[in-house]
A and B are shown apart, each in its own frame.
Chain A
Amino acid sequence: MTNALEIEGLTKTYGSGFEALKGIDLQVAQGDFFALLGPNGAGKSTTLGIVCSLVTKSAGKVSVFGYDIDTHLSDAKLHLGVVPQEFNFNQFEKVFDIVTIQAGYYGIPLKKAAVSAEKYLKKLGLWDKRNTPARMLSGGMKRRLMIARALVHEPKLLILDEPTAGVDIELRRSMWSFLEEMNRQGTTIILTTHYLEEAEALCRNIAIIDHGRIIRNTSKRELLQQLSLETFLLDSDAALERAPELDGFSCRLDDEGVLEVDVHKRQVLNDVFIQLQQQGIKVVSMRTKANRLEELFIRMVEQNEPAAEAVTEGRK
């Protein structure tokens, strides 16, 4: 089956001489929910910008559902929906007009566009605001408006660049469910995000980009399996004065009196509870400390740092 997105040897050097992409290869299968992660300035937005024709590439090949953007750009664009990182609609236009005008650019007549706009504005909770000028919307509403606009022509590949940046937790969760529903219905989704919890919750496959190179491209499951150490937070029924001694485990009390226990991959969590019980400590609740993916991400980017610096040094 043709991949939803194929990138081969993609490079981008800006006019200033900054080398944003240094030869990226990436494949995203149809129906995937894919995350492109990386620190600020790693090349995520440049990569997606090239796919969406907002940035011109220096070299390499990009194809969307088999359509090469060099030779079949119009066909490639028909399959793409884009939600950029920053608000990029006319702030003076009304919500409904923004969505239907976008449909018009895809050659969809107004009557049909109005039906599609109603469908997505309702799904995203913006139907009541359809006659409101976009500048009057809250930040979260503006983000949802950009999603409705990106979907109005029913694209097969939806690209979201930091879709939930600055959005409160409740709204973020509702946007997650919406995106999951879109993905279940067959839309391939690629997102970049700084909320690694978001990537962990939504995505099946993940690529990590740093200094313009893909440093990891694998399934989320495989990535998480690399975690050798996990920290658990345990709440006891009574306040503890000091951390108990646990044989084989590193254990400490945090500032709020919560017990932090490091459990290695080869260790058994049950041993922690047995030892605590022996010391008369009852655990009433438990949770993992850090976002697992975040931990891995930081480690990988840190590992990549010296190599990347060496490359930069070498080119100076």
Chain B
Amino acid sequence: MSAHALFTAYITIVLREIRRFTRIWPQTLLPPAVTMTLYFIIFGNLIGSRIGEMGGFDYMSFIVPGLIMMAVITSSYANVVSSFFSMKFQRSVEELLVSPVPNWIILAGYVTGGMARGLGIGVIVTLLSLAFTRLQIHNLPMVVVTVFLTSALFSVGGFINALLATKFDDVSIVPTFVLTPLTYLGGVFYSIDLLPEFWQGVSMINPILYMVNGFRFGILGVSDVNPFVSLGMILSFIAVLSFIALKLLARGKGIRH
């Protein structure tokens, strides 16, 4: 395929993904907006006002970057895993498999689709947060790069989950039992300085901690970890997971007999 044909195939996948999640917006765009608004009201306003400062900022300002990141992570992951698994389930993935689209374009198309939803949700949650706090941006490039890379990383993760999943239960196991605990324990609601030393050490092996803190550094200028270490971690994870996803695709894992 020529470069132009490859680009057309890539855009076709991306646009189809965007059309899919916008068509079912009450299932894809509305729920995170409602959930995050509740977080802002309950944790930020009601409880947060009694907590006082965290990391040198009022509690609402402290949790906003984490909540935006949490919404981006879950939406990016959910978009790819549910879309690709339902394609497998309906067998419409065969449309892609019989076509000459190379595997890396398939992966890139789905990851971009996941990022489109994840970042779209990120924008919606950011706009909602403005109703509760005044957002300052400490380092815009850091904000943009961290959120883009994190969204890409979890989109690749969702793709691998979809390839390996054989039933609908498998699609919800990782988000429920892995992603949610790691996100909640990844410093969204607190600074790890509050933890005993042992649990601080344990927290350092949670990859989501680096993403939340990298993003928080971009917005507030404070972080529990070095923001450049965060970027390095995210890039490394993207490289490893993309390699695994391409290997699984080449083997036809879960999609070819």
Contacts and interface: CB of A to CB of B under 8 A. Distances in A.
A and B assemble together? yes
Contacts of A97: 16, 19
A302 B15 CA distance: 52
Given A82-B98, A101-B95, A107 B90 contact: no
Interface string A81-110: 010101111111000010001101111110
6 contacts: A54-B256, A86-B91, A88-B94, A89-B95, A101-B16, A105-B100
Given A84-B94, A86-B91, A88-B92, A107 B100 contact: yes
Interface residues of B, number: 29
A90 B95 CA distance: 10
Looking at chain A's contact residues, the main secondary structure is: loop
A74 B92 contact: no
Interface in B106-141: none
A74 B98 CA distance: 10
A149 B6 CA distance: 19
B90 to A, nearest CB: 6
Contact of A107 (B9, B91, B95, B96): B9
A105 B96 CA distance: 7
**Sorted from nearest, which 4 A-B pairs have the closest CB atoms?**
A107-B5, A104-B12, A105-B99, A88-B91
Interface in B160-207: none
Looking at chain B's contact residues, the main secondary structure is: helix
B8 A107 contact: yes
A89 B98 CA distance: 13
Contacts of B54: none
Contacts of B50: none
Nearest to A82: B98
Contact of A74 (B87, B95, B100): B100
A102 B1 CA distance: 15
A77 interface: yes
B93 to A, nearest CB: 8
A56 B256 contact: yes
Nearest to A159: B98
Contacts of A147: none
B4 A74 contact: no
B167 to A, nearest CB: 18
A107 B257 CA distance: 26
A208 interface: no
Contacts of B13: 104-105
B11 interface: yes
